[in-house]
Chain A
Amino acid sequence: MRSGPPIGQRPSGLESLIRTTTFRLAIVQAGVVLTFVVALLAYVYIATVGQLIRDADAAAAQEYASLERAYAEGGISRLRQEVIERSNRQNDLLYALIDASGQTLYQDIPVIPPLRGEETDNVSLKLSRPTPEGGLASGEARGRIGRLIGGPVLLVARDLGGAAAIAGRITSVLWTVAVIGLVLSIVGGLVASRQAARRAEALSHTARDVMAGDLTRRVPEAGIGDEFDILARDVNAMLDRLERLVNTTRTAGDSIAHDLRSPLTRLRQRLDEALEAKPDSEGERTALRKAVDEVDRLLDTFQAVLRVSRIESVANWRFDKLNLSEIVRELVEFYVPAAEEAGIELSAFVTDGLALKGEPQLITQALSNLIENALKYTPRGGRVEIRAEMRADGKLELAVLDDGPGVPKQDRDRVTERFVRLESARSTPGTGLGLSLVQAVARLHKGVLALGDGLGGTERPGLRAALVLPTTG
């Protein structure tokens, strides 16, 4: 089986999530939500709290200017009198007055903030006012503080009252909404991207199965008609067409083989009959025999073609529980005389009790093909070794190793394809279907045919051809 580049391999976990398109979209969406909420907050703040503050500042500034004029007209005593009077008259304005020596002349706020520098300044004050129920309510005020000519410090402030509390509530609600919105948009993005990732994964899984040779696989549709369903439908239509094309090509070959078999069989019978009729000259006999051999070779090839496609296309093979160790030993025993005749040392290392569920004749034929290949390409005086064992990963391995010329790495995928024979093998007889059949048998048993270096050295590596079969399923 081919072990090409790692197709469709992807990083796992968080990294893969961040890479998905939908997750990136979710992040962008969250950013937009955040920006909108911040803008909204700013607008609401400016429209409510900001306006209150501006109004309070204006009122305080106006009162301050008016008191400043009273001070200019009547000095500190007039100012003190005005402050007391106005404080009693207007209940939303608050006052504080400190004379030049630093003594507090009047105050109806709990703490007078310090005057920074000599300039007049807008200030925010924390208040605690007695409530009608007799308790204390905290509040906020905005005002103006400044040093008058000659040294006294005057403060005029306006209680923002309940409006400030409402504005604060609005602000905190907006903040809550902003946080919730942000969290929701991130969670939504994650969910959406997980879902999209799963469907993309299903698509790529199908693609990988198809690449591995299962042309019957199709992409599942969710049935909701979204863009993934549309994509799945298109991909499935493409796979239908691909499968049809592949099958047409394959069946074309099969039908040629099938249709030509009957006339060829009849031709062989005619040749047989001609031979039976005892031709007069030795030349005729030889020609007829050669013709029979040629026809037999053609029939062998067609037979092999049909056999390989049958293994690939028939679904209901009867699988039995097999004693693989015995099958291998008997087959080795079968080939030992032929190997000795060819001057090849054939040895076998077979673990006892290897069991497998499989089709006995196909397994036997596959292994026989591997052994015959090894015997064919190993020169006189060479070695062929057969190993049947249970691997550490629980799979069975039937390996045939030789010290013949081997198969160059770049050709190993190719030699299992139908009719492919390497340039170096052209001179030896064979249909070019031997390894295709082994490959087909391996696939039928959900295993693989693995090719590697055999028993030789670096000059002539030899070939190691192994059937690796799972024992379950």
Chain B
Amino acid sequence: MKVLLVEDDREMADSLRVSLEDEGHNVDLAGDGEEGAEMAKSRAYDVIVLDRMLPKKHGTHVVRDLRSDGVSTPVLILSALHDEDHRVEGLDAGANDYLGKPFSTRELLARVRALWNGRELAISERTRLQVGDLEMDLLARTVHRGGGKIDLQPREFRLLEYLMRNSGQTVTRKMLLENVWDYHFDPQTNVIDVHISRLRSKIDKDFTVQLLHTVRGSGYRLAA
């Protein structure tokens, strides 16, 4: 997919560009806010990755500018501060996701992929999700696997829904925390792992094919 990266820190920009290109993305680079806004308006991108503190034009202003011009490309804001008020400010301006530095490359790649998935899903307005023989009905709020019904708690349902919407992709613990629980801090304990292992025991326990995989050092992936 085509990614526009707007970042003024040269070293950071190069490192991110290499990582994104390694994932098979096509990356354009802009060095300041004005250039970024111009490029975003003149070409069609799938995802825009935007630093918050930019010369010439602040990241949140770039997003507001784009949105008022009718550019609906998903935007991920990178910020030196992972702070609630900055996050809210960025999302209010029209950004789709917010990632505070420091972050790992894998976290960024996972989020870029998720933004793209989210856009595809939003366009297709799907009411059913399917991964292998695991099926989720978003209207009836039911889950079946191999013909048998699986009972889930509301939160487990949302956890599985998020994993299914991003199936095939790695989702990090942080992404789960933010999107399933709306918590924007890092628990020091393995609390997410415990939730995942409970979910796993419900969807994978009686089946030979395991769907919910642990990606070591990063997070989890739901895939057939």
Contacts and interface: CB of A to CB of B under 8 A. Distances in A.
A293 to B, nearest CB: 9
A140 interface: no
User: Chain B: interface residue count, which band?
Assistant: 20 to 34
A333 B187 CA distance: 14
The 6 A-B pairs of least Cβ separation, nearest first, read: A265-B102, A338-B191, A361-B84, A365-B185, A337-B194, A338-B194
Interface stretch (A27-35, A82-90, A149-157, A266-274): A266-274
10 contacts: A261-B101, A264-B102, A268-B104, A272-B104, A303-B82, A303-B102, A310-B83, A318-B85, A368-B183, A434-B188
Nearest to B185: A365
Contacts, number: 78
Contacts of A310: 81, 83
B146 interface: no
B102 A362 contact: no
A85 to B, nearest CB: 118
A376 B189 contact: yes
Contacts of B194: 337-338, 341
A292 interface: yes
A289 interface: yes
Interface in B98-157: 101-106, 155
Interface string A307-339: 100100010111000000000001001110110
A350 B12 CA distance: 47
Given A266-B11, A269-B104, A318-B88, A361 B185 contact: yes
A85 B127 CA distance: 147
Contacts of B185: 361, 364-365, 368
A337 B191 contact: yes
Interface string B192-224: 001100100000000000000000010000000
B69 interface: no
B157 to A, nearest CB: 14
B181 A334 contact: yes
A146 to B, nearest CB: 109
B187 A272 contact: no
B136 to A, nearest CB: 21
A288 to B, nearest CB: 9
Given A266-B15, A318-B85, A362-B84, A430 B188 contact: yes
A445 to B, nearest CB: 14
A166 to B, nearest CB: 87
B107 to A, nearest CB: 10
Interface in A288-303: 289, 292, 299-300, 303
Interface in A263-288: 264-266, 268-269, 272-273, 275-276
A368 B186 CA distance: 10
A265 B11 contact: no
A54 to B, nearest CB: 95
A337 B189 CA distance: 12
Interface in A419-462: 429-430, 434
B15 A269 contact: yes
A372 B85 contact: no
Contacts of B12: 266
Contacts of B67: none
Contacts of A268: 102, 104
A229 interface: no
Given A269-B104, A273-B105, A337 B198 contact: yes
Given A368-B187, A376-B189, 18 more contacts: A261-B102, A262-B101, A264-B102, A265-B102, A266-B15, A269-B105, A272-B105, A292-B217, A299-B102, A303-B82, A303-B186, A306-B81, A307-B83, A330-B181, A338-B191, A364-B185, A375-B189, A429-B188
A84 B107 CA distance: 137
A330 B154 CA distance: 12
B25 interface: no
A411 B183 CA distance: 31
B106 A272 contact: yes
B83 to A, nearest CB: 6
A429 B186 CA distance: 14
Contact of B191 (A318, A335, A362): A335
A299 B102 CA distance: 7
Nearest to B218: A272
A30 B103 CA distance: 77
Interface string B10-38: 01100100010010000000000000000
Contact of B85 (A275, A292, A317): A317
Interface string B33-57: 0000000000000000000000000
A221 interface: no
Contacts of A337: 191, 194-195, 198
Contacts of B88: 318
Contacts of B198: 337
Contacts of A265: 101-103
Interface in B49-104: 81-85, 88, 101-104
Contacts of A364: 183, 185
